[in-house]
Structure 1
Amino acid sequence: MSDVMLRNISKRFGAVEAVRELSLAVNDGEFLVLLGPSGAGKTTTLRLITGLERPDTGSVMISGRDVTQDPPGSRDIAFVFQQYSLYPHLTVFDNLAFPLRSPARRVAEPIIRKRVEQTAELLHIAGKLNNRATRLSGGEMQRVAIGRALVRDPSIYLMDEPLSSLDAKLRAELRLELKRIQLEVGATILYVTHDQVEAMTMASRIGVMKDGRLLQVGTPREMYENPSSSYVASRLGTPQINLLPASLMSDIPLPRGTQTVGIRTEHLQIAARNGGRLIGRVNRVEHLGEQNHVHLDYRGQMLVTLADPHQPLQSGQEVEMRLTNPLYFDAAGQRLDAMV
């Protein structure tokens, strides 16, 4: 495996600046996830690394070598797309073997068989090698698509939302499988998604993107607990962070310059009224087994927090809200230090 370095990469398509002065290091053996909505520049970043697009400015380095002007075929990169892109007339074995039979990287057949069988075992599809691709389930087809990249042993794997077309159960299963495989083979993976659960559960580090800019990079825990902005905070966490105007929180001390208060579920506890200054009204309660999602109306703003499923709560009930270590943001949405 290898490391990848992007230095001040920018790419424009007409009037749209898809990637803006992006610098990023993907370390050898790392599972780095780029997280952001559609249009954030995630896929363009992958295409710049592969050479499918050329940057307007900046450089791409792989293993210390500048590959900015190199053609895609010389970069030793494996790309897993959102769609399976399998050859329907071929068996699973031949789909997996296809990259190794390419004229550019042709490998002897005994080595191909060994690599294909090893990869199939790793992906738990060894029993499907003689099946045509059209006889596979969605999850099996995605495993074959991932396996077609794994069989090559490239410098880095680039994955563009490979699980997004699967149902929730299969996504959860393949998240675990993909992380297991990455750890077993020591692969370097740059993975793109809009799904924060995928990012939080699989990544060594997460990079949050918006409008072509990379806003913050860090471990999942760092990104969740210490977001640099209200936007980054809103991309991570379920339920989503509550963002309230500071003007509604005049009853509590706030750092100078605070315009928005960020309240995650662990920052907010509710209890029976007992002389506190923050009073909310229960709007509705979602019963989710081991916990409840409680929707509160606080001065016309809706908040969501968690509560013990045995805590007696009902719609219309007034409760006292207690805040512990919320997050503070200025008018530009940038993080402010908490008061000491």
Structure 2
Amino acid sequence: MAEITLSGITKRFGPITALDDVSLTVPDGAFVVLLGPTGAGKTTLLRLVSGLDQPDAGRVQIGGQDVSTATPAQRNVAMVFQQYSLYPHLTVRQNLEFPLKSPLLRLPPEQIARKVGEVAEVLQITHKLDNKATALSGGEMQRVSIGRALVRNPAAYLMDEPLSSLDAKLRADLRIELKRIQHDMGATFLYVTHDQIEAMTMATHVGVLDHGRLVQFGPPRQIYEDPVSIHAASRLGQPRINILPATLFGPAPAGAAHIGLRPEQIRQGEGEDSFVRRVEHLGDQTRLHLSFHNHDLITVTDAHTGLKSGDIVRIRPEKPLYFDASGARIHQE
């Protein structure tokens, strides 16, 4: 596996700047998630690392080698796309074998069979090896697509929202499997998603992108607890952080325009009265949709709460975050 370093990467498509002077390092053996909304530049960055596109400025290094002008094959990376990339006329076994039968590898048949068997077992598709790809469900096809990458031994794995088209249970299962596989292999993963749950549960590091700029990079817990901006704070956390006028609960630090409160930063049972607009029972927790001085906010409470719509609950902020008018974080003394 290998470290990936991006230095001053800029990419334009006509008048649109998709990436603007992006620099980051994906450590060897790390699971780095690029997080952001549609149009943030996530997939473009992945394509530049893979060699499918070339940057207008900056350089890409993999394993200490400058590969900015190298072809995808020369970069020795394996990529998994959002849509299934399978040969429909081949069986699952043949699809998995295909990357290993490259003339450049010259692997003996028994080694190919062993690798295919190991990956099929990990992805729970051993019983489908002799099925045609067209006979598989969507979840099974995506497992085979992931398997086509895993059978190789590349410098890094690049994944572009590989779980987004799967049902909720399969997504949850494969999140666990991919993280386990990455950990066991010591593999370098660069993974694109807009799903914050994937970022929080799988990533060792998260890169938050906003309109082509990297706004924050670090462990997911650090970004969650110490965001540099409203945009970074809003990328992680479910329910999302509440962004409200800075003085809604009283005096605010100089320059503050907004107060940010995650659900757990809203203390209940003390403070000022708020009105319960809606109660959302989710099994392991209950979300309260509150109205406070004509502003809506969401917090969480005990799963077995007796609160209902129309009730009054007293609230106050605890360790809030403050942001200026531009959305930048204001750190309190």
Give your verdict on TM over 0.5: yes
Equivalent-residue separation in structure 2 for 1:105 and 1:309 (angstroms): 56
Equivalent-residue separation in structure 2 for 1:36 and 1:60 (angstroms): 21
Q: CA deviation at 1:135?
A: 1.9
1:131: which partner in 2? 131
Match of 1:264 among 252, 262, 265: 262
Q: CA deviation at 1:126?
A: 1.9
- Once structures 1 and 2 are overlaid, which stretch shifts more, 136-145 or 35-44? 136-145
Given the alignment of the two structures, is residue 304 of structure 1 paired with residue 298 of structure 2, yes or no? yes
1:145: which partner in 2? 145
1:288: which partner in 2? 282
Q: CA deviation at 1:121?
A: 2.0
1:156: which partner in 2? 156
Equivalent-residue separation in structure 2 for 1:62 and 1:75 (angstroms): 7
Secondary structure at 1:116's aligned position in 2? helix
2:197: which partner in 1? 197
* Alignment deviations for residues 88-146 of structure 1 (CA, whole Å, 9 cap, x no partner): 11111100011112344443322211221122122222222111112222222111111
2:21: which partner in 1? 21
Q: CA deviation at 1:38?
A: 0.8
- Once structures 1 and 2 are overlaid, which stretch shifts more, 303-312 or 231-240? 303-312
* Alignment deviations for residues 221-272 of structure 1 (CA, whole Å, 9 cap, x no partner): 10110111111111110111100011423x2x3221111000111100222x
Equivalent-residue separation in structure 1 for 2:197 and 2:224 (angstroms): 12
1:182: which partner in 2? 182
Equivalent position amino acid for 1:226 in 2: D
1:320: which partner in 2? 314
Equivalent-residue separation in structure 2 for 1:285 and 1:219 (angstroms): 32
Equivalent position amino acid for 1:88 in 2: P
Aligned positions, number: 333
* Alignment deviations for residues 20-74 of structure 1 (CA, whole Å, 9 cap, x no partner): 1000111111100000011000000011111111111100001111011111111
Matches within 5 A, 1:1-340: 1-249=1-249, 251=250, 253-271=251-269, 276=271, 278-339=272-333
Q: TM-score scaled to structure 1, two decimals?
A: 0.95
Q: TM-score scaled to structure 2, two decimals?
A: 0.97
Q: CA deviation at 1:201?
A: 0.4
- Once structures 1 and 2 are overlaid, which stretch shifts more, 321-330 or 107-116? 107-116
Equivalent-residue separation in structure 1 for 2:282 and 2:149 (angstroms): 39
Q: CA deviation at 1:279?
A: 2.3
Secondary structure at 2:46's aligned position in 1? helix
Equivalent position amino acid for 1:91 in 2: T
Secondary structure at 1:248's aligned position in 2? coil
Equivalent-residue separation in structure 2 for 1:311 and 1:197 (angstroms): 25
Runs of 4+, deviation exceeding 4 Å: none
Equivalent-residue separation in structure 2 for 1:318 and 1:181 (angstroms): 48
Equivalent position amino acid for 1:270 in 2: Q
Equivalent-residue separation in structure 2 for 1:228 and 1:32 (angstroms): 19
Secondary structure at 1:280's aligned position in 2? strand
Secondary structure at 1:163's aligned position in 2? coil
Note if contact 1:285-1:315 (Cα within 8 Å) is conserved in structure 2: yes
Query: Identity over aligned residues, as a percent?
Result: 57
Gaps of 5+ in 1: none
Secondary structure at 2:166's aligned position in 1? coil
Q: CA deviation at 1:290?
A: 2.8
Note if contact 1:269-1:305 (Cα within 8 Å) is conserved in structure 2: no
Q: CA deviation at 1:319?
A: 2.1
Equivalent-residue separation in structure 2 for 1:154 and 1:72 (angstroms): 12
- Once structures 1 and 2 are overlaid, which stretch shifts more, 95-104 or 205-214? 95-104
Note if contact 1:99-1:105 (Cα within 8 Å) is conserved in structure 2: no
Equivalent position amino acid for 1:258 in 2: A
* Alignment deviations for residues 157-203 of structure 1 (CA, whole Å, 9 cap, x no partner): 00000000001111011111111111111111000000000110000
Equivalent-residue separation in structure 1 for 2:304 and 2:35 (angstroms): 36
Equivalent position amino acid for 1:113 in 2: A
Equivalent-residue separation in structure 2 for 1:58 and 1:168 (angstroms): 38
Equivalent position amino acid for 1:126 in 2: T
Q: CA deviation at 1:323?
A: 1.3
Equivalent position amino acid for 2:236 in 1: L
Equivalent position amino acid for 2:87 in 1: Y
